[in-house]
Structure 1
């Protein structure tokens, strides 16, 4: 597998983490310390923050790494928070960090894939994102059955570390020769 395809694998791992995370808390149900109003806010904080992907940004490896780091830190903070407002803020932070990673990652990939070679960069992560959105509630239900909602957020930390290692190892540092 060449460096470019390894980069797609690293970006796809990030997309998988983010897409599962979008829907995973939906199954936690009564375990969450929420009123009906804060439940709605929690449900929409993550996808609303993901709209940050529309913000124009340069695709740089350091932006990608900082975004992943922020995602892991906010996930850990959310796992240990005691009030609904802070949990909602953490979910918003997760979504915003995911948006930063996605924007920077796909901009980086755009510099290495041109013309007809661009379609796998979009298609492979899109299929994985769909599978992640579908599997998120199932994963959340299993975790909530045997543990608390905090583990749903806490499990994002080691997954983020794995994604950071994959991005660091497999994202080319230099732009390809044109």
Structure 2
């Protein structure tokens, strides 16, 4: 049983009161009578889920097949082509930003923001002379691979922002984003 099916099963059983779990499992008709009686419904729900999973793996049921079919890609050829086109486009965007080959091992990237607050809604902040300051730190065991995977898998929207692609283009992992003056957009300066 794959991790996604386990997760769905756990989420369903987590919402059911313990006293109703046995009735639910009987309605699903995925366990034999002996297996239903072997479960201890007074145990924590995660233990019950693990036992149900162990029973369902030597005896697979039609219900596990239904869950797997729901998560399958659409079978219509036009939809499948559209999905593959989007997947290829995301992959190309990630390779354009982070390269095709192996990426250097980088564990952190830091962006420091120093700019004036611009906005109509808060006069308290927009009237101040001092800068608005903030720090954003990205950390991972392999940050560039993680960023490339986020774009290629569709978790992050492409194209990749120049602030992130600048890591590989400039060979740096510390950036200061400053205001260059009124009417000029913020620009990342490498340090």
For the pair shown, the structure with the greater C-alpha radius of gyration is 2
Structure in which a larger fraction of residues adopt helix: 1
- TM-score scaled by length of structure 2: 0.21
The normalised TM-score by structure 1 is 0.23
Q: Which structure dedicates a bigger proportion of its chain to strand?
A: 2
